[in-house]
Structure 1
Amino acid sequence: MLDFIRGLKARALQRHDRATWMLFFRLAAGAVVLIVATTIFGNIAEDVATSDSIVQVDKTVADWFYQHTTPALTKVMLVITNMHGTLPVSMAVITLCAWLAWRRNWYWLLCVGLTVPEGMLLNVGMKYAFQRSRPSFDNQLLTLTTYSFPSGHVAGATLLYGVVVALLLPQVRSWKARALLVWVALFIVSVVAITRMYLGVHYLTDVLAAFAESIAWLALCITGVHAYWERKFWIAPPPS
């Protein structure tokens, strides 16, 4: 009986150590993603602010899209881009939060509630900080009066699909299915980015910066919530 009790204690301590290591591994992974994404955004923002050579690349890409517009393709691009505006993304977030609340999944409710709305507000703040004018053409397909850098549509899509992927990944066991899930999310975000450049309302650096900014915010929020939720593993002493 004594040996059985000792075995239980050893397994409990082992589980505690494993959970602690998993927590620190996730925190480290989140920190790496945050640092890399923030560095990428910072480099792009610096190049845009100083009108570096990348600005010429922006103009070249913008001109290429403008020269390859067609009425039929424009309709498709408008449908896709309108599906990822502020209102549709907000409605999707509200629906997801309502479902999570109904399921009493407070962990992911907190993740979604912190990640998407605040991330979109952060993007608005960035727009006013940089105040970059939008591309201008003779026959503008879409005219907007707000600032260009970074793209709000790409930020919203990245935040929404990013948090959905983070929510679904733990439920998927196959690595192939996980890879497919991530690929689909990246594909959709890329399509949204293309629609914004095609319609002449954003430069290449606008969409790239929005993606990097949103990935950094995703990493910060999800890692922070996970650390808060699992704090008992590194605050509470191991069982003795």
Structure 2
Amino acid sequence: MKEIYPRVHKFVAARLTPGEELGLHFTVGIALMLFAAWVFGGIAEEVVEAEEITLLDDWLARWFNARATPAFTQAMMYITHAHNTAGMLIMTTALGVYFYLRKAQYWLLALLVSVPGGMLLNVILKHIFQRARPSLENPLLTLTTYSFPSGHTVAATLFYGLIAAYLVCQSSRWKTRFLIVLGACVMVGLVGLSRMYLGVHYLTDVLAAIAEGCGWLAICITGVSTLRRRRAARATR
């Protein structure tokens, strides 16, 4: 293979080499982006064509609404309000200050591109799909904006996903890395659950938002990492 197709072998080897500018990190990032886009596209198609999953959406929304309790509603309200636009702005600013003080300039750049950019992308997608919010007889929370995908969930995916990526890079123990990723998943899951429980989003809104967030985060982190590696390579020449 190496002797017959030297250019192909060189190209593949470069894409799988950790230290290359467009090496393994770039390959993994593109793969994650494409997979996330495929998942999002599949969910969006099911929603637009009103397939069977939309029946599950409606059933689950009514199931949560019928079993609401004051204590759990209060907890879900706290979680959902903590991750609204104002809450995300505060948390993103705090994380940005932390990165600045730590002189983690590339992580700061990734943060500034991923979270605000992803939230803007989500607004665009909402206006493209224009899906109405769940209609319930006794809603716990009422909103008039579009439903698909969930803005709170995509913001949480981007924010906690970036924190998890940063902490994973700082740790060398696989057990610690696993717990970090698990913690990020739990936080995103709680935000998504709060939106479904309160009756302002369907299950597919949340799942699509997670896919959207993962895809956009993969683009941002891969792009910033490539920029860092390219500058480092030029500095050594």
| Same fold (TM > 0.5) | yes
Amino acid at match of 1:206: D
Deviation at 1:18, TM superposition (A): 6.1
Deviation at 1:102, TM superposition (A): 2.6
Deviation at 1:171, TM superposition (A): 1.0
Amino acid at match of 1:37: A
Segments of 5+ residues of structure 1 without an aligned counterpart are 1-16
1:70 to 2:69 alignment: yes
Is contact 2:18-2:25 (8 Å) kept? no
Query: Per-residue displacement from partner, 1:148-181 (whole Å, max 9, x unpaired)?
Result: 0000110111010001111111111110000000
TM-score of the aligned structures, taking structure 2 as reference length: 0.88
Structure 1 moving runs of 4+ over 4 Å: 236-239
Is contact 1:19-1:233 (8 Å) kept? no
Is contact 2:36-2:215 (8 Å) kept? yes
Segments of 5+ residues of structure 2 without an aligned counterpart are 1-16
- SS where residue 147 of structure 1 aligns? coil
Return the alpha-carbon distance in structure 2 between the equivalents of residues 91 and 18 of structure 1: 35
- SS where residue 231 of structure 1 aligns? helix
* 1:148-159 → structure 2 map (5 Å cutoff): 148-159=147-158
Return the alpha-carbon distance in structure 2 between the equivalents of residues 19 and 59 of structure 1: 48
What does residue 188 of structure 1 align with?
187
More deviation, 97-106/171-180: 97-106
What does residue 164 of structure 1 align with?
163
Cα distance change on mapping 1:219 and 1:64 into 2, 3 Å: same
Query: Per-residue displacement from partner, 1:82-109 (whole Å, max 9, x unpaired)?
Result: 1111111111111111222233221111
Is contact 2:131-2:148 (8 Å) kept? yes
More deviation, 208-217/26-35: 26-35
What does residue 105 of structure 1 align with?
104
Return the alpha-carbon distance in structure 2 between the equivalents of residues 168 and 210 of structure 1: 23
What does residue 19 of structure 2 align with?
19
Return the alpha-carbon distance in structure 1 between the equivalents of residues 18 and 28 of structure 2: 16
The CA RMSD over aligned residues, in Å, is: 1.8
What does residue 9 of structure 1 align with?
none
Return the alpha-carbon distance in structure 2 between the equivalents of residues 20 and 197 of structure 1: 43
Is contact 1:120-1:152 (8 Å) kept? yes
Return the alpha-carbon distance in structure 1 between the equivalents of residues 18 and 163 of structure 2: 26
Structure with bigger RCO (C-alpha 8 Å, 6+ apart): 1
Is contact 1:20-1:233 (8 Å) kept? no
More deviation, 206-215/46-55: 46-55
- SS where residue 95 of structure 1 aligns? helix
User: Is the radius of gyration larger for structure 1 or structure 2?
Assistant: 1
